[in-house]
Structure 1
Amino acid sequence: MELRFLGGAREVGRSAILVNGSLLLDFGVKTDSPPQYPVGSARGRGVDPEAVVASHGHLDHVGAIPALLSGDSRPPIHWTPPTDELAQVLARDTLKLHGGTPQCPFTGEEVSRVTEVSETHGYREPFEAAGHRVEFLDAGHVPGSAHVLVDDGETRLLYTGDFHTDAQRLVSPTADRPDADVVVCESTYADVEHEPRAAVEERFVDSVRTTLWEGGTVVVPAFAIGRTQELMLVCEAHDLDCYVDGMGQEVTDIVRRHPEFLRDPEAMRRAKSNARFVTGRDGQRKRIADQSTVIITTAGMLSGGPAMTYLPEIHANPVNKICFSGYQVEGTPGRQLLKTGSAEIGGRHLRVSAQVESYDFSAHADSTGLRSFLGAYEDTPILVDHGDSCEWFAGELEAAGHDARAPELGETVEV
């Protein structure tokens, strides 16, 4: 089997692996400025697979997929039902925000073609793609996320995609450890130990309750896919009223249409009933910002979205609070705010007097989780990708007795 790492090698973003020159696993975007696309493509174009298999619906894994449908190219796209819908939401959002600019690698026509070539599959339902036998297994990351098992008749490849080995309120942890001849494993948090989720949740809830008791407003920047729904579930479980704003509203409705991909569909129904969705009409956001309440809003790193309205409204009051719910990438306004207490928000430089806190609600396996997962593959070659410390982690695995390495960007590996 031949694997060409077009993206995601020794980096986080633009995940893309070409198998045997014909089967493409993921095709994402690295959201730098300007965006970066998989190598061998110009703004996502120029790669011509026979079929595409997508692991889950996040921009760094599916953000450039419509660009594969330019010209006469019509490769079938295989994914789970939630990933299908989530990827199309992301594509439409990218088109709405950046259509006709270098920030958007595809046209509206190409986005509309996605539906024509989409083929959905559940977990443990084998299918054929570009002459390979493929199977999705639950990865425990977000609804519909999958490990991808690929068999070309000689070699069985396990592409982990993004995964979590601990339970979240939204989805159950991965429990699948299929036989494989080679594993391509993500390593996002290879050098991090997550605080136990129950402890994170308890600290978050206690902090929010303190602010509400003092009459303050809590803004929680959150990723639309996965994180918003997780926080809605936390709020409902602890009897905290909340507003939900941004793309997370549409995503919530999508995941509720696929209850078989949720840990507790009834809990998600209650969380939706507990939350109030914001329309943004007639100055609604400014009125909400004056309330003593919780506002869960995109974007998770303050790079856009309704958060741009809420922060200027609440930033000057030291009773108010901004609670980040995940990692803030270097160079983003969220990271700047955490480090310096000020940030460029919506074209304005804000020096924030509100309290700023950060909570690790990550949906990725940490160092212990990764090693636990890979314990099932002691005698299997491991190719480490999707991380900022891929080489280091591969070295750690080798020291522990694994056959491990970290391919370079653009490298072709024979396995």
Structure 2
Amino acid sequence: MRVKFHGAAGEVTGSLHEVEAAGQRLLLDCGMIQGSPEAEARNADPFPFEPTALDALVLSHAHIDHIGRVPLLVQRGFRGPIYAQKATADLMPIMLLDAAGIAESEAMRANRDRRRGQPVAVPLYTKDDVHAAMRLVKPLPYGARTEVLPGVELCFHDAGHILGSSIVELWAEGRKLVFSGDLGPKGTPILRDPVDIAEADLVLMESTYGDRLHRERAETIRELEGILDDAWRQGGAVLIPAFAVGRTQELLYWFAKHWDDWKMSRWQIFLDSPMAAKVVDVYDRHHGLFDDDAKAVWRDQPNPFKLPNLHVTESVDESMAINRIERGLIVIAGSGMANAGRILHHFKHRLHRKQTHVVFVGYQAEGTTGRRIVDGAQWVRIHGHDVRVAAKRHTVGGLSAHTDQRGLMDWYGGFEKRPPLVLVHGEDKAREALAGEIGETYGVQAMLARPGLEHEV
């Protein structure tokens, strides 16, 4: 068994790893590169392999940096089966159709403004490409060891990151490869904890937060309560960039759980994302995957997805109407890194106001608008205009969907014989710190994946 690393190998986004085993070639993830315009332009580059030569694709979960180039792979000739956990398979068309819609709109806008002599803009892929990709998807449940190719077996286990997120086990040629996907923190609301795996001949592990520890979740929730109280007293609005899958559902969970003591009924809460509304429906259909605490909240509190003051805005006109509300307003909108989506319209309208509070609840990649705001930028460019940042900024790291250094160390520590380890899905600073801790604690020299690096299992 041989692994070749192509994406998320020195950066956080663009997960893409190739495996050759038992005479077969399969891909682990096919994610979109996110960040600066220069980084995102790389999504259109040729794949570093021939798509028609691949026999299968295995997906760890439905975040766009893990599935975002699947339709492009199919457009360029891939015709093999695509294996995903059942909830991931349900989330995929929502995420990918949204990405295709954005790509088509951006191409249309570029062509409208195109000057003579400039090439015609073409979307990365279209909605038709998404439909073609979805016809290849074969859903699997957690815990079912399945022969997916001759001589290759696969099993998904809960990774606790988002609904349907999976740790991937692969067996071939008498060897076992384990790919962590993205691991969630223990105790994450709604989701169950990541499954511990005891045996492997090689482990590929994410390292997004390999250089830091998250705040305790209880402390984070108190901080969120304080932010809401301050914003209410100051008569402003709370803007929360959040991915449609994961943080959006958790935020609604906390609003329901603390409905009375946070006086949530005084707010108007807007979920300004048609995609997030569809994702909420998928969560509702898969409530059997929820943890016990979440089941209790659904039973004893207002349904987090049907709060009486929750408004789901689907049309552009409904979204624009939010601008007329001056105070007592919470807006949850995508994208989570503020590099696209409706959150930018709300930023453009409210970032210059001192009474606005902006709450970041997830990772902000290099080059994104969210990262620039977190890093203290006084001005950001939105839709061609420079916007002053006078709003109060809050980074609520304890709500991250990724586990921290301690969680990564503990998960790797669950392997009995300390198998070889390759760190993926992390910037170098985070990976180097994690590798150092693992070497000191477990005596294992972790490798840092680089594009083109090959490793024999």
| TM-score normalized by the length of structure 1 | 0.92
Given that residues 232 and 327 in structure 2 are in contact (C-alpha distance below 8 angstroms), is that contact kept between their aligned partners in structure 1?
Answer: no
In structure 1, the partner of 2:115 is none
Shift, 1:46, TM fit? 3.8
Cα 1:234–1:151, aligned 2, differ >3 Å: closer, same or farther?
Answer: same
Relative to structure 2, which stretch is displaced further, 334-343 or 178-187?
Answer: 334-343
Q: Give, in whole Å, the separation in 1 of the partners of 2:352 and 2:46.
A: 47
Shift, 1:223, TM fit? 1.4
In structure 2, the partner of 1:384 is 423
In structure 2, the partner of 1:126 is 145
Of residues 155, 166, 183, the one that matches 1:163 is: 183
Cα 1:103–1:245, aligned 2, differ >3 Å: closer, same or farther?
Answer: farther
| TM-score normalized by the length of structure 2 | 0.84
Given that residues 89 and 139 in structure 2 are in contact (C-alpha distance below 8 angstroms), is that contact kept between their aligned partners in structure 1?
Answer: yes
In structure 2, the partner of 1:399 is 440
In structure 2, the partner of 1:22 is 25
Aligned residue identity for 1:342: W
1:319 equivalenced with 2:355 (yes/no): yes
In structure 1, the partner of 2:130 is 111
Cα 1:322–1:281, aligned 2, differ >3 Å: closer, same or farther?
Answer: same
Q: Give CA-to-partner distance per residue, 1:220-254, whole Å, 9 cap, x none.
A: 11111101111111122222242211132221122
Secondary structure (helix, strand or coil) at the match of 2:53 reads coil
Shift, 1:402, TM fit? 1.6
Q: Identity of counterpart residues, as a percentage?
A: 28
Of residues 379, 393, 412, the one that matches 1:356 is: 393
Given that residues 217 and 320 in structure 1 are in contact (C-alpha distance below 8 angstroms), is that contact kept between their aligned partners in structure 2?
Answer: yes
Of residues 214, 219, 223, the one that matches 2:239 is: 219
Relative to structure 2, which stretch is displaced further, 156-165 or 140-149?
Answer: 156-165
In structure 2, the partner of 1:270 is 303
4+ residue runs over 3 A deviation = 37-40, 44-48, 100-105, 265-269
Given that residues 140 and 172 in structure 1 are in contact (C-alpha distance below 8 angstroms), is that contact kept between their aligned partners in structure 2?
Answer: yes
Shift, 1:210, TM fit? 2.2
In structure 2, the partner of 1:62 is 67
Shift, 1:403, TM fit? 4.3
How do 1:162-311 residues align onto structure 2 when only pairs under 5 Å count? 162-239=182-259, 240=264, 241=267, 242-246=269-273, 247-263=275-291, 264-265=294-295, 267=297, 270-274=303-307, 275-279=310-314, 280-281=316-317, 283-288=320-325, 290-311=326-347
Q: Give, in whole Å, the separation in 2 of the partners of 1:39 and 1:394.
A: 31
Cα 1:96–1:197, aligned 2, differ >3 Å: closer, same or farther?
Answer: same
Q: Give CA-to-partner distance per residue, 1:135-189, whole Å, 9 cap, x none.
A: 0000000000000000014101111100024211131221332421211111111
Q: Give, in whole Å, the separation in 2 of the partners of 1:37 and 1:411.
A: 20
Q: Give CA-to-partner distance per residue, 1:360-412, whole Å, 9 cap, x none.
A: 12111111111111112353111111111334533442333124212321111
Shift, 1:277, TM fit? 1.0
Q: Give, in whole Å, the separation in 1 of the partners of 2:128 and 2:99.
A: 13
Shift, 1:47, TM fit? 5.9
Q: Give, in whole Å, the separation in 2 of the partners of 1:108 and 1:340.
A: 36
Shift, 1:53, TM fit? 0.7
In structure 1, the partner of 2:89 is 84
Given that residues 15 and 38 in structure 1 are in contact (C-alpha distance below 8 angstroms), is that contact kept between their aligned partners in structure 2?
Answer: no
Given that residues 196 and 414 in structure 2 are in contact (C-alpha distance below 8 angstroms), is that contact kept between their aligned partners in structure 1?
Answer: no
CA RMSD across the alignment: 2.3
Given that residues 16 and 38 in structure 1 are in contact (C-alpha distance below 8 angstroms), is that contact kept between their aligned partners in structure 2?
Answer: no
Q: Give, in whole Å, the separation in 2 of the partners of 1:3 and 1:316.
A: 48
Aligned residue identity for 1:29: M
Q: Give, in whole Å, the separation in 2 of the partners of 1:39 and 1:375.
A: 38
Q: Give, in whole Å, the separation in 1 of the partners of 2:381 and 2:232.
A: 27
In structure 2, the partner of 1:409 is 451
Secondary structure (helix, strand or coil) at the match of 1:177 reads coil
Shift, 1:265, TM fit? 4.9
Q: Give, in whole Å, the separation in 2 of the partners of 1:57 and 1:231.
A: 19
Aligned residue identity for 1:399: E
Aligned residue identity for 1:125: A
1:333 equivalenced with 2:369 (yes/no): yes
Q: Give, in whole Å, the separation in 1 of the partners of 2:400 and 2:123.
A: 27
Secondary structure (helix, strand or coil) at the match of 1:22 reads strand
Q: Give, in whole Å, the separation in 2 of the partners of 1:206 and 1:71.
A: 50
Given that residues 379 and 403 in structure 1 are in contact (C-alpha distance below 8 angstroms), is that contact kept between their aligned partners in structure 2?
Answer: no
Shift, 1:85, TM fit? 2.5
Relative to structure 2, which stretch is displaced further, 394-403 or 98-107?
Answer: 98-107
Shift, 1:301, TM fit? 2.2
Higher helix share: 2
1:11 equivalenced with 2:11 (yes/no): yes
Q: Give, in whole Å, the separation in 2 of the partners of 1:252 and 1:15.
A: 25
Relative to structure 2, which stretch is displaced further, 229-238 or 265-274?
Answer: 265-274
Cα 1:309–1:68, aligned 2, differ >3 Å: closer, same or farther?
Answer: closer
Relative to structure 2, which stretch is displaced further, 336-345 or 161-170?
Answer: 336-345
Q: Give, in whole Å, the separation in 2 of the partners of 1:386 and 1:321.
A: 30
In structure 1, list runs of 5 or more residues that go unmatched: none
Relative to structure 2, which stretch is displaced further, 141-150 or 332-341?
Answer: 332-341
1:154 equivalenced with 2:174 (yes/no): yes
Aligned residue identity for 1:253: D
